[in-house]
Structures are given as C-alpha cells and as structure tokens.
Structure 1
Amino acid sequence: MPNFISEDQIEQALLQRLQHVCGFDVLNCHTTDPADLNDGSGRMDKRDVLLPAHLTSAALRLNPQIPEPVVLAALARLGDRRQAMSLVAANREVDGLLRDGIAVNFEDAQGRQQQAQLRLIDFNSVANNEFLAVSQLWVKCTGISALADYRRPDVLLYVNGIPLVFVELKNSNVKLRSAYSDNLTNYKNDIPQLFITNAFCVLSNAIETRLGSLTGQWEHFFGWLRLNDEKEKIDRAQIAEAGTSLERLAEGLFQRERLLDYVENFVLFHRETNKILAQNHQFIGVNHALAQFEERNTHSAHDKAARGKLGVFWHTQGSGKSFSMVFYVRKIFRKLTGNFTFVVVTDRDDLDGQIYRNFLNTGTVKPQDAAQPKNSEELRKFLGQNKRLVFTLIQKFRYAKGATYPVLSER
C-alpha cells in the first residue's frame, strides 16, 4: 500500500511544481477570517473571483490601441455574474470571450469609429500572459441554495487574473470520488461565479488524479498520465505507489504553453449544454498530427513518398475518434491560414451520420459549409467546390467500370 500523503503535502508539492517547473507565480490567500479582504488578492468584494489588478494590467497591455475607459467597461462585462443564466450557458458565453475577445466600439484619436476584439489572453505568445497559482482563496457564496457562507478551493490556476482551472485535493487515504461528490458538486452550487470562467476541473488524492468539465459526471472524469507520446508505457501501479499522478498531470498539461493550447483548442461545447474536453491521447495525438500537417510539404524532392502524408492516428473502440477529428479540424481552421477542405470517409451510414452531427453540434462547421453527398455524382460535385468539410461513405467513390476516373479537385 502507498504511504499516507496528506492533503497539505499534496498541495505544497503541486505549488512547488507549478512554480519551479511550470513557470507560475504562487499566491497564498489564506486568512483566519473568511471575510477579511486583506488576503493579497486585491478584491474589494469577497463574492468576486477575478483578480482586478492582474486582469486590468493584462487587458491594457494586450490592447494598447483601445482607450482605457473602453477596456474597463469591457472588463465589467466579463465580471458580470450572469445570475439570470444557467451555469453552463454562462460558461459557454465566457468561453467565447476568452478565446475570441470582447467586441468593443470606440472613437480613435482622429475621431473615427473603430471596432475591435479586446483580447483577454494572448494565445500566440505565452510570455505576454501572467500565470498565477492561488491557494486557499475564500469566496463568499452566492448560490440561491448555498450550504455555507464561504467556500475555499484548494488551488486555482489563473491566467491574467482569470480563474481557468479548479483543483480539489484529498488525503491519499480518501476515495477520490468524494472530491467530486462532496466538494466540486457543492462548490458549483454555492459559488457558481467561480465556474463561469472555468476551463476544467482537477481532482486528486495523489494516488489518483482525474480532470473533467463542469458538466461532466464522475464517470466522465479521466486520468492524464502520458506526457509527450500517446504510446508511452505507463506503470500505473508504480505511479500510485509513489503518489505522483498529480505531478504527471502538471508536467503534461500545466506547462504554460500546453495550458493555453488546451484552453484555446481542446475545449468545446456539444449542443450548447455539454462541455467536452480532449482526453490525454487526443491532446497528444492531435498535436502530433498537426505537426505532420504543417510539415506536409517540407520533405525533400527525393523523398516523394513522404510528401503530403500525415500518418495514422490509431484509436481503440470508444476512445473518441469523431471528437479527435473535431479537435484536429478546429485547430487547423483557427491556427493556420489556407483554403482547406477535409474529407471524412467512413464505411457505415450510422458512423457517417454521427460524425457529421458532431461537427455540426459543436459549431465546428455550419450546415452551409459542410456537405454530406447523397450519391457518387454529388460527391464528385462537392469535391470540386470549396466546401470546408465533406462527409462521405467510401463506396460513393465508385465509378463506371472501365471508365477513366475524373480529377475530383485540382486542389
């Protein structure tokens, strides 16, 4: 059996790793009196979860072309607790603001009306952001049926004064499920304002570590043990014995560049009510596939066999093939310039329909930009157009026997 590891030991080990390995600053906000505003967070109201000085400084730095009063007004919109909305609807709305910025209008120095997207996070340059690990932050409860006056999460990961990651810890002899049932569930009920900006939640007792979304049930929370290769051999018994599961997650996901990549490209909403997160193998595999995509034309002339070939991303049954496709296509559309068409080829009607619906229901593609041809003739027509996505059965590539197969696309 593993040696006993206390919750405080786990917390201190995590903070040390975040600071010395992952590049975070660390702030302990514990006060004996939960109502004490002198906790180092700079908040003027304990109901708030945004760190005002950090947020304002980052927003002004990232948006020098936007007048300060306009920036401050936009940040007030971000800080709205959205109490009239469901938590998942509020989270989805703010997810869009974090990823794409807040739309603002202002008058420039020449008196001309301007429109811009006020950036809250610089996803293209890690160094332009501030990363802060905050421990023991008291938050005043605002939930209608709150079970307490205040709640104090163990660790929160902030980027530019915005809490993106919730971490709940337990002693190593406590079943991890209690962190979900007794803590995360109550926190969402009592301090919902904390989860409006939340990207994902982490639960750990060192022996076992899982992460999941605010809409996820316990069975949807998953582990994160592989660091750089989805084929890496994992000794789960040794990791449990040493109590290093949280350390592996921190190294694999909390490195600053990886965290920003995950928040930007590997979080999505399905049918607007279910938040989906990429699992360990999807994050690593999609990024490997993306690297191959970026290098598709760089092979030397004598290595013609390798030109344009991206390789194979192998999945087991039930491991999320269609969502891996979604994450892959979404990241290419967002991060790379080019007029790309993706052709998704399957051999079963039900699978073809499932993948098509997943792309639509996650907002990855709009119906007018996708195509699901009814027959071979329509497939050839769609491939000659600039559709962003074409979903087809492999048998629709059939052609008249003995006839020369036509060029489907010069692209």
Structure 2
Amino acid sequence: MKFTEAKLEQVFIDLLQEEGFQYISGDQIDRSEEDVLIKEDIRAFLKKQYSKDGITDSEIDGIIRELEKLPASDLYETNKTVMRKVSDGFLLKREDHKLKDLYIRLIDFEGLTKEDAVSQTSELSVAADGKEKYQIHADQNIYKFVNQFEIQGYEKRIPDGILFINGLPFVVFELKSAIRENTNIHDAYIQLTTRYKRDIPELFKYNAFCIISDGVNTKAGSFFAPYDYFYAWRSAPDRQMLNKDGFDGMKSLISGMLNKNDLRNIIRHFIYVPDVSKKEEKILCRYPQYYGALKLFSNIKQHQRPDGDGKGGTYFGATGCGKSYTMLFLTRLLMKSKFFTSPTIVLITDRTDLDDQLSGQFTNAKAFIGDNVVESVESRADLRQKLQGRNSGGVFLTTIHKFTEDTELLTDRNNVICISDEAHRSQTNLDQKVRITENGVSKRYGFAKYLHDSLPNATYVGFTGTPVDATLDVFGEWWMPIP
C-alpha cells in the first residue's frame, strides 16, 4: 500500500492515538512560533509531580529558562546535556535555601519494572492473602503527537509530526510519499539532517531520535547518525516476520518502539552518547539489542545467587550485530536497577584485542553507565586489590587468560555479574584435563574453572556468535536476536 503524504500523516496519527497519545494540531497550541517547547505542559507536569515538595512557579520557570538558554549553535553538546538531564535527572537548588536540593526528572519513569510497580492504574496490588504487595504507580506523563507545528528559526519550517512528552519534543517525524516521482525515504532523512538542522536547530536540542517513512519503509535513528544507521523496528510479536514493510512495518515500529513503556525505557536506558567524542556519536539501540538486553536483565534477576544457579543466560549474535552495545545497555540496566543496588560488573574477553576494544568503549561511557570506576585490570592480583573492600559498584575489564591456576578467592559476594564475550571458547572449559607426559600424569583445569572458583557466587552471562553445548551448560538458556 502506498500513501500520499497527507494520508501517511493520518496513518501515524491514528496509530499513535491507538497507543494513547493525544493528537493536537499545532495551530491550537498557544505559543510563539520561536518556541519549540509546550511550556504549559512542562509547568503542569512539574507542578503535579513535585507538589508535595512545594515546588514554586518561579522554580519551574527557572528550569525552563535553563533548558532554553542551552545553545543550539553547539547542537551536539547541548543535545548530550539535555539527554543526560532527561535520562538521569538533575538537582534543583531551591529558592528557600533552608530546603534541600530537589531531584528533578523531566519524565516520570516509574512503573517500567516490577520493582517500580508496573501498571497504568493507581490502585493497590493485593495478594491472595489480602496483604498489600506494593503500590502500583500510574504513568503521570503528558503525551502529545502534534502536526502543523510551525517553527520560526532561520527559516520557517513545519515538521510532519512531533511527539512531545511533558512539553519536550523528543521524537521528530519526517514523511515522504513513495508515489511521488523522484522522492523516497532518503529525502526524509536529508530534510531532517540538512534543512531542519540548518533552519530550526532549536528543535533538535531536545531530540531523542527521529522517525522517517515513505509508507513503504519506516525507520528510526539518531539525528546525528548516517542514513545507513536508521533501522526498522520489530515489535516483540513481530520479530519472526523479517520482511514486514508498508503499513505492517509502520504499525510494528509504533507498537514496539513508541508505546508509552518502551518509549520511556528507550529514552532512559537505550540511547548512548560517549563521554568524549571527536565525532558526533549518538547511538540509538536497534531492536535486537533492546530485547536482548531486557531478556538478559530479567534472566539475571531470576538466576542470581544465592537462590538461583548463577546462569544469567546466553546471547547468541553473529558478527556485526552490535554485541558490545548490547553489553553496554545491559550494564546500564544493571547499574541503574533498584533490584541490584549497584552491582559489580566484570567484563571478560578471551583475546587482548577484544579487551582493548571493549575497554575503549566502556571507559568512555562512565556517565552513561552511572559509575566513575570503569577500569581495565592488569592482572589477577590487580583485580583482587580492586575488589577488596568494595561492596558494590565498579566495572572491571579483563581477559580470561589472567585467571591462571591461582585459586585464591577474589570475592564471595553475590552482587557480582560476569559478562563474557566469545563465550564459546576458553570461557566454558570447566572440566579437568589429564595429560600423560614423560614426567608422569599432569592434571589441570581450563581458565574458566579458576574464574568460577574465584567468584563462586557471581552470576555469569555469555555473549557468543557460535554457541556450543558447553556454552549453555555454563551460562544457561540462550536468546538469539533476529537482525
């Protein structure tokens, strides 16, 4: 099915309304054309969210001013600053200096996990014995999808659609009709990243990601990414149907990526911006990375010792599927989780070049991970020293070969998560090997045996492109992303 741009726009409006987004035309919003924020929504959300803290109107106006004064001239750095404020929150100094600083979130992220009490209602969850289990949290955010939103920048522009949460324009849509000659989805990308970037950069200070579509193909990507890094999205029930396009592709992206829970989760945990970058790097997860990290996170919770068997799961992904980013997203999930309360992560590879690659990526992601201790380990003794006296936190990168036949305990804590890359090779050799030599019988174990003996209560997660039976025996059930 092919659409005119007007019909394509209406399809997106209808599908987003099905997801619970309020549709409103931009000409119905009381604002100056230079404004890209819906300030009344920001004020309404913050006033309600922090009413018990006595937040004042002038304090809210101060938050808005701080956002507006961030320069669009340095768009990448400003977008990085905004995304960190959104995903991690920030402290507000109170007008009344007797009051403690107030921790502000511009999006209500509560209810995304069970420990946050998942629900769209505000009732209590009651167990069969009549006892209250936990307080269910209602989604307090204000969601709007807006078209005809005229923006006066260096030139006047009207994006095809903008998705606002609490008055901030997080997702920008650009649509082109496939029935128009010499027009395709790539033209939508050029419109966003060239013309809009030049004429209305203020809009993209707050952008989480963009959606482009020509009715045949619908893709999502970072505003700073090359066109080749815009991808389709498959919702959880649709992952087996690889060739979906047209209306089905649009519906799959909207139901799988833009439903309120997954959208909030992606904005909070699945958009990575390096601490320092010579290029304008901003990585939006692809759907295999998203579902894979969530699956492993859930599996680790279920299998964590002492109640579980320590087998956190196996991620089976071919070369080029972005395993290192999946590891990074999983690490953030673990570090930010209320359930794990800042675990210690040990990342293990079986080759020095892989260790160097992961070290470079992870040590440049301290803000994203949420821990300033992200370090490469020089030796087993070095790791022991780093773990001594540490009860939580820290990300340590090493190679399996550093676990030689030193069987001394490193730590018996159960809040240690070991994430192994290339888990089909030297990281599964737990069995004893017997060799007959001129000097008699030699008995020794593989590196993995000494690793497990050194961290007996850790939970182990494996990433591999070539799973074997031993991989599943060591790391547990496998999950395969479908590209």
SS of structure 1 residue aligned to 2:240: coil
The 5 Å alignment of 1:301-380 reads 307-336=309-338, 337-363=340-366, 364=368, 369-380=373-384
CA distance in 2, matches of 1:368, 1:259: 27
Q: 1:298 to 1:7 in 2, by over 3 A?
A: farther
Taking the TM superposition and a 5 Å limit, the aligned residue runs for 1:264-283 are 264-270=268-274, 271-272=276-277, 273-283=280-290
In structure 2, the residue matched to 1:68 is 57
**Cα distance between partner residues in 2 of 1:282 and 1:187:** 29
The code of the aligned residue for 1:141 comes to G
Other structure's SS at 2:321 match: coil
- 187-196 vs 57-66, which moves further: 57-66
Contact (CA 8 Å) 2:163, 2:172: kept in 1 or not? yes
1:276 Cα offset (Å): 1.0
Q: Which of the residues 200, 214, 220 maps onto 1:205?
A: 214
Shift of 1:114: 2.4
Instruction: Pick from 101, 110, 119 the counterpart of residue 115 of structure 1.
Output: 101
SS where residue 92 of structure 2 aligns? strand
1:380 Cα deviation after fit:
3.8
Give 2:153's aligned residue.
141
Moved more, 208-217 or 173-182: 173-182
TM-score (norm 2): 0.73
Q: Are 2:165 and 1:167 aligned?
A: no
Identity of aligned residues (%): 27
**Cα contact 1:169–1:204 (8 A) shared by 2:** yes
Partner Cα distance (2:370, 2:83) in 1: 19
The 5-angstrom pairing of residues 81-160 of structure 1 reads: 82-83=71-72, 85-108=73-96, 112-125=98-111, 127-142=139-154, 149-160=155-166
Compared CA separation, residues 333 and 376, structure 1 to 2 (3 A): closer
**Cα distance in 2, alignment partners of residues 183 and 390 from structure 1:** 39
In 2: Cα distance, 1:267 partner to 1:161 partner = 20
The one-letter amino acid paired with 1:87 is L
Contact 2:2–2:215 (CA under 8 A) maintained in structure 1: no
Counterpart of 2:76, as a letter, is V
Amino acid paired to 1:258: D
Q: Structure 1 residues 333 and 160 mapped into 2: Cα distance closer, same or farther (>3 Å)?
A: same
Cα distance, 1:354–1:46 mapped onto 2, change above 3 Å: same
Letter aligned with residue 168 of structure 1: E
Contact 1:104–1:116 at 8 Å: present in 2 too?
yes
The amino acid of 1:375's aligned partner reads S
Give the distance between the partners of 2:315 and 2:333, measured in 1 at CA.
16
Give the Å deviation of 1:367.
8.9
Contact 1:81–1:193 (8 Å) recurs in 2? no
Three-state SS of the structure 2 residue aligned to 1:166 is: strand
Query: Quick check: 1:16 aligned with 2:14?
Result: yes
Q: What is the CA–CA distance in structure 1 between the aligned matches of 2:75 and 2:372, rounded to whole Å?
A: 30
The Cα RMSD (Å) is: 2.2
Q: 1:222-272, CA deviations, whole angstroms, 9 ceiling, x for partnerless residues? A: 221x21269x32241xx33x5321211001011001100000000121225
Cα deviation, 1:90-134, whole Å, max 9, x if unaligned, reads 1011112222334322255xx724211232211114611011000
Residues 293-313 of structure 1 deviation map (CA, whole Å, 9 limit, x = unaligned): 2223499x7xxxx63322111
Deviation, 1:215, is 1.1
CA contact under 8 A between 1:168 and 1:184: conserved in structure 2? Answer: no
Residue matched to 2:418: none
Where does residue 23 of structure 2 map in the other structure? Answer: 26
Contact 1:342–1:390 under 8 Å retained in 2? yes
Partner of 1:146: none
Structure 2 CA distance for partners of 1:380 and 1:79, relative to 1, 3 Å: same
Q: Distance in 2 between matches of 1:211 and 1:185?
A: 17
Aligned length, in residue pairs:
375
Provide the rounded CA distance (Å) in 2 between the counterparts of 1:260 and 1:51.
19
Measured after TM superposition, the shift of residue 381 of structure 1 is 3.5
Unmatched tracts of structure 1, length 5 or more:
30-38, 143-148
CA drift of 1:366 comes to 8.3
Alignment CA distance shift 1:398-1:385 (3 Å): farther
The residue type paired with residue 197 of structure 1 is: Y
Q: Any unmatched runs of 5+ in structure 2?
A: 112-137, 414-483
Q: In structure 2, how many angstroms separate the alpha carbons of the residues matched to 1:247 and 1:399? A: 55
**Counterpart in the other structure of 1:33:** none
Match of 1:252 in 2: 256
Contact kept, 8 Å, 2:371 with 2:394, in 1: the verdict is no
4, 7, 11: which one pairs with 2:5? 7
Distance 1:339 1:103 in 2: 20
Q: Is the 8 A contact 1:375 1:396 kept in 2?
A: yes
The yes-or-no answer on 1:52 pairing with 2:39 is yes
